[in-house]
Structure 1
Amino acid sequence: MKVTPSQLVQLLCAFVPKRLPVLITGRPGIGKSDIVDQAAKATAHNLLISHPVVEDPTDSKGLPFPSPDGSVARFLPFGDLERALNATSPLLWFLDDFGQASPAVQAAKMQLLLARRIGEHVLPDCVTFVAATNRRNDNAGVTGILDPVISRFATVVELEPTIVDWTDWAVANNVPPALVAFLRFRPDLLSVQKTSRDIENSPSPRSWGFVAQTMGVVPKELELISYAGAVGEAAAGELMSFLGIYRELPSPDAILLSPDTASIPETPAALYAVSTALAAHSTEGNFDRVLTYNDRLIDAGHREFAAVLARDAVRRTPELQNTHAFIRAQGGPLGQIIRGQ
């Protein structure tokens, strides 16, 4: 069953407190680990991240240690197992890249996942399991997960990234407006299934995150090289074309100097660029001017872009909802758009 990032967060927040284990599948770089971290924080759980792919089966059982007289031996827990067994507050034990682990390591987790014990050691009630894996067709070294292991999870879901969830995250994390505007314009490039085994990157939420980190850092003459190394040449070429449009548009400051007369773009690419940039520049001091320009977008028939501008601005700076300009706008066409009327 496919889920969006926002649905997965809700699902984990419901399952984790009830100690119900969840298995998440999906292509590489789409945010599985970040969402688990978000859910751990939302449910007030400490997060323990394990990588079974680098484990041996003994890691899940402990090391045998003889008694002083050598007559008997016990398995002594160590590492992540020891931390989980000694947990006294809510702990989310995250098994990352689980599908890359050997069958022996996967089998060693079965008793922990279902019986919540290993040998004589019993997990405390405050520990919950979540696991994540790429799919077999993702060229990620996944050979599969044993069926008896899969059946020990309360539910198995496949994460599918969406442009709505990604832009919500991007706006909240101050991703450069130019990149947000581009991916709104070309949402099909947010996550692209890699079809070759060549040593190159493909577009994914993770790789676009690397692009965001390098924007404004690399000199312009190296932008294409840098971006192509992160998301591939085709996607990087489209981004560079979009940036050419973005950089030729009037600056947000220039628009806000004359919001009653500033030009309104005609092409979707330019409209995405302007609305996203204005949202990023919105403050309590200039929001009345932003909304003046936004009203003109509505009058020009660009209701979708007016909604993008208003929602992004409020998402970035929630205090804008309390401004007189925004309260007044709620009674007009913008309020109808936001309410979906």
Structure 2
Amino acid sequence: MLATKTIGEAKDTLRKLVSYSLDGDGNAPPVFLWGGPGIGKSAIIQQIVSELGMDVEENFIDLRLTQLDPVDLRGLPKLDSDEFVRWSIPHFLPRDGKGVLFLDELNLAPGAVQNAAYQLILDRQLGEYKMPSRWVIISAGNRPEDRAGVNPMKSPLSNRFIHWEVETNIEDWKDWAYKNDVDERVIGFLNFKPEMLYQFQPEQSEHAFPTPRTWERVSQLLEIGFTDTNDIASAIGLEAAREFQSYISMKEELPNPQQILDGENIIPERPDILHVIITSLIETAKHQTGHEQRLMEYAEQLPTEFTVLLIKDALRAGIQLQKTQKFTKFVQKHKGTIIENTQNIT
């Protein structure tokens, strides 16, 4: 049984491993991330490279082994003299500097290609090629149960990696979604129904299903102007699209969030309506200034779980609640236990 981490936990641990190698303290062990399709395994690697101040173009190599033949890794032989043959070094392998070599979809590659990669992963070299010391090897792939057509990984290769199974997490996803301007209707719906973030069923044959990646597609469709149920279903499937559209319809019937920011205390009893109001309120407030105190006043009138939701998501959206006196008093009153991890968001 594999060790399990959320996307956020995996990202934090990988950042430490990468930093360890970049600082020249030693070679970090190679890591293999296992997980279902579309959960963001590949995306977090690029994020780590950027967050550590490196250039993705120069310090990140995304090598898809499914697109290579064994000779592509080893390099072509060339005659060095009348007696010797040397192997040319593939141009895509790092020569110097520092960074991350990302072997995506490793277990989708044929066995012969995996064999060719074995020496690179095990010994950090291929023939005469040696990988620079400040480069880290990270790999990722789907699980056998995901029906992704994976090939068995041989034991000597598997034994070289540290293995983590990565899972989705709504809090981690919202950290990313607010930073990347995901449509507030998508965020609001998944706040209301977090179980819809990931709905992959390997035994079913649908082409479209909800994952973090396909919800990003929904946000892109909405930005372009595609709002029809069938258009949304093309990304996440018909059942999820119908639920999402029901949420949208309910949202359109609610009061304008500007009324709350202007001082009206509209506090519905239904949790689904509160979810809609909170995300709409945050979306409106983040494009204006001077509403921080009002948001704290409104948050304090809500049931505790919605108080926490409003405060945490407002901070994720970049609204500076922590600068208000009410925020300071609130944190002191609850001693940080109710709004766990809020300090990290700020």
Residue of structure 1 in register with 2:9 after alignment: 7
Residue matched to 1:151? 159
Match of 1:47 in 2: 60
Residue among 31, 36, 47 paired with 1:27: 36
Match of 2:90 in 1: 78
- 1:1-341 to 2 correspondence within 5 Å? 1-16=3-18, 17-18=20-21, 19-44=28-53, 46-67=59-80, 69-81=81-93, 84=94, 86-87=95-96, 89-153=97-161, 155-196=162-203, 198=205, 200-220=207-227, 223-259=228-264, 262-282=265-285, 283-297=288-302, 302-317=303-318, 319-327=320-328, 329-330=330-331, 337-338=338-339
Q: Structure 1, residues 91-136: CA drift from partner, whole Å, max 9, x if none?
A: 2100011111010100111111111111122222122100000111
**Partners of 2:11 and 2:44 within 8 A in 1:** yes
TM-score, normalised relative to structure 2: 0.87
SS in 2 for 1:145: coil
Q: Deviations over 1:175-233 (max 9, x none)?
A: 2222112112211111112335646211100001101112243254xx21111010001
State the Cα deviation string for residues 223-248 of structure 1 (Å, max 9, x = none). 21111010001111111111111111
Alpha-carbon RMSD across the aligned residues, in angstroms, is 2.2
**Shift in Å at residue 253 of structure 1?**
0.7
Pair 258,98 (structure 1): closer, same or farther in 2 beyond 3 Å: same
CA distance in 1, matches of 2:140, 2:221: 28
DSSP-derived class of the 1:201 partner: coil
Structure 1 CA distance for aligned equivalents of residues 64 and 169 of structure 2: 27
Task: Compare 142-151 and 319-328 and name the one that shifted more.
Answer: 319-328
Going from structure 1 to structure 2, the CA distance change for 1:305 and 1:73 (only over 3 Å counts) comes to same
2:65–2:104 contact (8 Å) kept in structure 1: yes
Secondary structure of 1:131 counterpart: strand
**Partners of 1:61 and 1:108 within 8 A in 2:** yes
- Evaluate the alpha carbon distance shift between residue 287 and residue 42 of structure 1 in structure 2; reply closer, same or farther with a 3 A threshold: closer
TM-score, length-scaled by structure 1: 0.89
| Identity of matched residues, % | 33
| Superposed displacement of residue 35, structure 1 | 0.9
Cα shift at 1:279: 2.1
Structure 1 portions without partners, runs of 5+: none
